[in-house]
Amino acid sequence: MKTKILFLSSVALASSLFAGNLAKDALDAGIVPLPSDGKALTKMINDAAPDAKEYPTTMAAYELGMRLYFDPRLSKSGIISCNTCHNLGLGGVDGVPASTGHKWTPNPHHVNAPTVYNSVFNSVQFWDGRAAHLAAQAAGPMTALPEMASTPELVVDRLKSIPAYVDEFKKAFNSEINFDLVTTAIGIFERTLVTPSRFDKFLEGDENALNDAEKKGLQIFLDKGCATCHNGVNLGGTLQPFEVAAKYEFADVGDFKGDANGMVKAPTLRNIELTAPYFHNGAIWSLKDAVKAMGSIQLGIDINDNEASSIVTFLNSLTGKMPKIEYPMLPASTDKTSKPELDY
């Protein structure tokens, strides 16, 4: 009996040392946890948001931004909101390969809508990195003809016609309504959409936060070199070269080619199980297939079925705790509010 106890103790000790070394290996690979401490998390968010000092996250600004995020009147048609393509109940995405916008227009470049969750930690926004922060990103879809098809003037005029919004902007920003503050408010709301996971607890030292299968998947993830691009607090979110080792099978789906240098934003792996389909053009629906494709395209290696399944098991541990969002009641339009322009 004593021998059995000693054996089990040695197994437990070895498992504990493995977990400790594994967490250290992940940290050494550049992966950063979301802090469990509220103050540390707030600091990390503020450090990641370049406008946080000028426009702090006050309750008034947050509530205004949330209402604007869900308000379809920011679109020309009056039926498309930010939440249409970045649905907070669906992992922050719309669940289709390429979004549909004004007049049922498909995205002309066949580009997949990235998740808005944890997007504050992306170093750049959009697949080609053309926006540096959330407020700048919010302006893009709102004024893009195939998306919300609005204009800054239309947005401001509609909001100014609604007394409740006039009051909210004064309360949040001590200012009249202008387009920059509209996008700023939306960005303030979006910067709060962070989702700490069990994986973060593991990196912080809780060896039991991941099970053995998830730890095995993490080890393979690190051994294969996946953290070369998927690192930092978002395990992604930075511009990276694409098709490093091989051609992407579905490269001809859409005409997106990255930025001027062919660089593409590596998507965050947080909540990745919720954000299918995958890649910039949403051409792959299976996360396991996406993992295998990345092995050949980016790393020039073969990731077999068992290895890919193990990595997916680990990736599922990145599904975090979603912030509680209650759909807001939106203020009433008035006789001065411009009518929806559906362009039928």
Say yes or no to pLDDT of 161 above 80.
yes
* Residue type at 220 in one-letter notation: I
What is the pLDDT, as a whole number, of residue 18?
60
Tracing tokens 């909540």 back to the chain, one arrives at 271
The Cα 318–Cα 177 span in angstroms is 38
CB 198 within 8 A of CB 19: no
> 86 labelled as ligand-binding?
yes
**Summary mean pLDDT of the chain:** 94
Is beta strand 105-106 parallel, antiparallel or unpaired with respect to 100-101?
Answer: antiparallel
Give the long-range contacts of residues 291-294, CB within 8 A, separation 24 or more: 291/315, 293/248, 293/249, 294/226
Where do the H-state alpha helices sit in 161-316?
163-173, 179-190, 198-203, 212-224, 287-294, 305-316
Q: Is CATH 1.10.760.10 the classification given to domain 42-190?
A: yes
Is the preceding omega at residue 277 within 30 degrees of 0, hence cis? yes
The string of pLDDT tens digits covering residues 188-237 is 999 999 999 999 999 999 999 999 999 999 999 999 999 999 999 999 99
What is the pLDDT, as a whole number, of residue 20?
74
The string of pLDDT tens digits covering residues 107-159 is 999 999 999 999 999 999 999 999 989 999 999 999 999 999 999 999 999 99
The topology under which CATH files domain 25-35+197-316 is Cytochrome Bc1 Complex; Chain D, domain 2 (1.10.760)
Residue intervals of the chain classified under CATH 1.10.760.10 are 25-35+197-316, 42-190
What is the enclosing helix (H) or strand (E) of 265? strand 263-265
> 82 labelled as ligand-binding?
yes
SS3 content of the chain, % helix, strand, coil (to 5): 45, 5, 50
- Structure tokens belonging to residue 257: 């080619």
Tracing tokens 């295998």 back to the chain, one arrives at 292
The Cα 106–Cα 94 span in angstroms is 13
DSSP annotation string for 124-170: SBSTT--BSSHHHHHHHHHH-TTTT---HHHHHHHHHT-HHHHHHHH
Q: What's the pTM value of the predicted model, to 2 decimals?
A: 0.93
Residues 6+ apart with CB under 8 A from 65: 185, 186, 187, 188, 189, 190
> 229 labelled as ligand-binding?
yes
The catalytically annotated residue of 63, 147, 153, 249 is: 147
Smallest Cα–Cα separation from 165: which of 327, 343, 281, 333? 333
> 110 labelled as ligand-binding?
no
Smallest Cα–Cα separation from 148: which of 81, 218, 217, 206? 81
pLDDT band of residue 72 (cuts 50, 70, 90) is very high
The Cα 136–Cα 19 span in angstroms is 41
Q: What percent of the chain has pLDDT over 70?
A: 94
Neighbours of 37 (CB within 10 A): 10
Query: Does the annotation mark 147 as catalytic?
Result: yes
